[in-house]
Amino acid sequence: MTATQSTAQSPARPGSASDRRRFVKGHGTQNDFVILTDPAADLELTEPTVAALCDRRRGIGADGLLRVVRSAALVERGVLTALPDGVGPDDWFMDYRNADGSIAEMCGNGVRVFAHHLRASGLVADDAFTVGSRAGARPVIVHSHDEVRADVTVEMGQVRLDGESLVRIGDDAYRGAMVDVGNPHLACVVPDMSAADLAAVDFTAGVEIDSQAFPHGANVELVTPPGPVDERGRLPAAMRVFERGVGETRSCGTGLVAAGAAILAAGDQSTGTLCITVPGGRVEVGVRTDGSHLRGPSMLVADGELRAGWDRLPD
């Protein structure tokens, strides 16, 4: 990862190359991220570099990378051609990359962890603020936080359902709703599927979507039909996810919202609140006619510093 001139031997000063090698590791319901704070977009995040950093053997290991950067800096550096809808030049921008190095428009769990990091590091002093993403502005509320834990709601924007498609997983085919939550999803509510059936699905048998329906790929969710509403009026369900650019992850925030919308649509409803369990925990999803929200935990588990030249292969 090149960050202008290396200052490997000098002490860290704000904005120095050494600062830009500092990272935080965090997760939202075990969807895990490496966070790099790079306000002026000095880092050159190439696909191979991000993939190496997210690799669980060669690098730190994560489902994705979150670069913390000022929105205006991404435009100045040509990473973005223009500010996305509703994003101001001074907003902190979540520059999200999947573990394979590819860019994705949005990451719901990522926004929770990103907001927690901004708040815990003092980069933001309020509990309510806006995070920029390629899918547009994402307002957040940090209900509570300390250095390690937070409870965060993200306003996830409009959910769009647009027809149906199929996915093959091994020898089985599942039909699902094509859902746009800023990024593409195929959310399959599988009739009669129990939580035990869901746990037994083998994603390693191969996951094949229709590339004509999803020319840019898609994230795939398998979801149980909902149970009876809980004491807070929320529909409970369980979900597993196979993410574009990553593989199976233990949670996916945009996928949870897509699953929520698909569950409601399967019951001929377009609005409602759900409590969805994933392998990494549980979150609340709300779908309204004018938007949606995701509420759940964030954990920041470690701070560290990459060594200069970490990404150079041995001779």
Ligand X SMILES: N[C@@H](CCC[C@H](N)C(=O)O)C(=O)O
Residue 256 CB coordination number (10 Å): 34
By CB under 6 A, residue 29 contacts ligand X = no
Which residues does 90 contact at the CB level (< 8 Å), separation at least 6? 70, 71, 72
For residues 167 to 186, the per-residue mask of contacts with ligand X, x marking binding by CB under 6 A and - elsewhere, is ----------------x---
What are the distances in angstroms from CA 208 to CA 115, 187, 223, 244, 259? Answer: 34, 14, 17, 11, 19
Q: Which is nearer to ligand X, 18 or 183 (CB)?
A: 183
Residues in the chain: 315
Contacts of ligand X in 121-150 (CB under 6 A): none
CB 255 within 8 A of CB 187: yes
Q: How near is the Cβ of 315 to ligand X at its closest, in Å?
A: 34
Q: How near is the Cβ of 12 to ligand X at its closest, in Å?
A: 30
Q: How near is the Cβ of 64 to ligand X at its closest, in Å?
A: 6
Annotated catalytic sites, by residue?
A: 107, 252
- Among the listed residues 130, 254, 273, 292, the single contact to ligand X using CB under 6 A: 254
- The closest of 299, 200, 297 to 253, measured between CA atoms, is 297
- Among the listed residues 43, 50, 54, 104, the single contact to ligand X using CB under 6 A: 104
Residue 91 bridge partners (DSSP)? none
Contacts of ligand X in 263-302 (CB under 6 A): none
- Among the listed residues 31, 133, 277, 298, the single contact to ligand X using CB under 6 A: 31
- Among the listed residues 18, 49, 71, 109, the single contact to ligand X using CB under 6 A: 109
By CB under 6 A, residue 245 contacts ligand X = yes
Q: Which is nearer to ligand X, 21 or 114 (CB)?
A: 114
DSSP structure class, residue 256 = H
Q: Which is nearer to ligand X, 31 or 224 (CB)?
A: 31
Q: Is 9 helix (H, G, I), strand (E, B) or coil?
A: coil
Q: How near is the Cβ of 246 to ligand X at its closest, in Å?
A: 5
Which residues does 119 contact at the CB level (< 8 Å), separation at least 6? 127, 142, 145, 150
- Among the listed residues 252, 264, 285, 299, the single contact to ligand X using CB under 6 A: 252
Dihedral of alpha carbons 75, 141, 180, 109, sign: positive
Q: Residues annotated as binding site?
A: 31, 98, 108-109, 183, 219, 243-244, 253-254
Q: How far is CA 70 from the centre of its chain?
A: 19
- The closest of 36, 60, 38, 54 to 102, measured between CA atoms, is 54
Contacting range for ligand X; rule: CB under 6 A; set: 42-50, 84-92, 191-199, 253-261: 253-261
Which residue reads 């019951």 in tokens?
267
By CB under 6 A, residue 253 contacts ligand X = yes
Q: Which is nearer to ligand X, 49 or 219 (CB)?
A: 219
Which two tokens mark 47?
């696909």
How far apart are the C-alpha atoms of 296 and 285, rounded to whole Å? 9
Q: Which is nearer to ligand X, 15 or 291 (CB)?
A: 291
Question: Contact residues for ligand X (CB under 6 A)?
Answer: 31, 64, 98, 104, 107-110, 183, 219, 243-246, 249, 252-255
